[in-house]
């Protein structure tokens, strides 16, 4: 079902349903492609990409970026470390936490997976985002995300 608007008003429940269903379908399609080509899933790719772009991050930094709990983030990081894609080193500012960095294998993996991600998302969205309303849709979602993040909306509790 597609979102409807009448008289300039957006049906927010339909918008929410469309937004969630699009995200789920894109995420799942990307997940399948990444698993097939690289043996990883989307969440692992996103962690690796973040760590490539933010070397020396903490588990808490990943959790904040992806608005997920510390426990789930720590378990995900443990899996990446077990596969020798990430290393932990002692945080000199706080010995209770670790700093995370990609290994050379992790860097090679994320670079290859990023090409697959770009190819897949282009394939799945070009027909819509390449059209005249595409840039406006991208801008609206970017603004909505910025407001939600600025105001701390939707962070896990606990």
**Would you state the pLDDT for residue 16?**
95
Mean pLDDT, residues 61-78 taken together = 95
**Would you state the pLDDT for residue 132?**
92
Burial class of residue 7 (count of CB atoms within 10 Å of its CB; 0-12, 13-18, 19+): exposed
Which residues make beta-bridge pairs with 87?
101
pLDDT band at 134 (very low <50, low <70, confident <90, very high): very high
Domains annotated on the chain, with CATH: 42-117 (1.10.10.10)
Q: DSSP class of residue 7?
A: T
* Percent of the chain with pLDDT strictly greater than 90: 86
Angle formed by the axes of helices 12-38 and 104-129, nearest 10°: 140
**Would you state the pLDDT for residue 1?**
52
Radius of gyration of the chain (CA): 18
Angle formed by the axes of helices 59-66 and 70-82, nearest 10°: 120
SS3 of 49-76: the string is HHHHHCCCECHHHHHHHHCCCHHHHHHH
The residue that leads in pLDDT, 95 or 106, is: 106
Give yes or no for a contact between 136 and 144, defined as CB atoms under 8 angstroms apart. Answer: no
How many C-beta atoms surround the C-beta of residue 68 within 10 A? 15
Angle formed by the axes of helices 59-66 and 42-53, nearest 10°: 120
Rounded to the nearest 5°, which phi and psi values hold at 100? -110, 140
């Amino acid at each position: 079902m597609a979102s409807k608007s009448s008289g300039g008003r957006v049906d927010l429940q339909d918008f929410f349903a469309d937004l969630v269903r699009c995200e789920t379908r894109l995420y799942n399609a990307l997940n399948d492609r990444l698993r097939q080509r690289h043996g990883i899933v989307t969440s692992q790719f996103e962690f690796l990409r973040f760590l490539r772009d933010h070397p020396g991050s903490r588990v808490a930094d990943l959790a904040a970026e992806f608005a997920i709990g510390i426990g789930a983030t720590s378990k995900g990081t443990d899996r990446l470390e077990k596969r020798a894609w990430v290393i932990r080193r002692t945080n000199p500012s706080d010995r209770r936490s670790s700093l995370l960095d990609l290994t050379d294998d992790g860097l090679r993996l994320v670079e290859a997976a990023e090409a697959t991600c770009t190819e897949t998302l282009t394939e799945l969205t070009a027909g819509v985002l390449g059209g005249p309303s595409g840039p406006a849709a991208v801008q609206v979602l970017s603004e909505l995300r910025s407001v939600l993040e600025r105001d701390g909306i939707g962070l896990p509790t606990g």
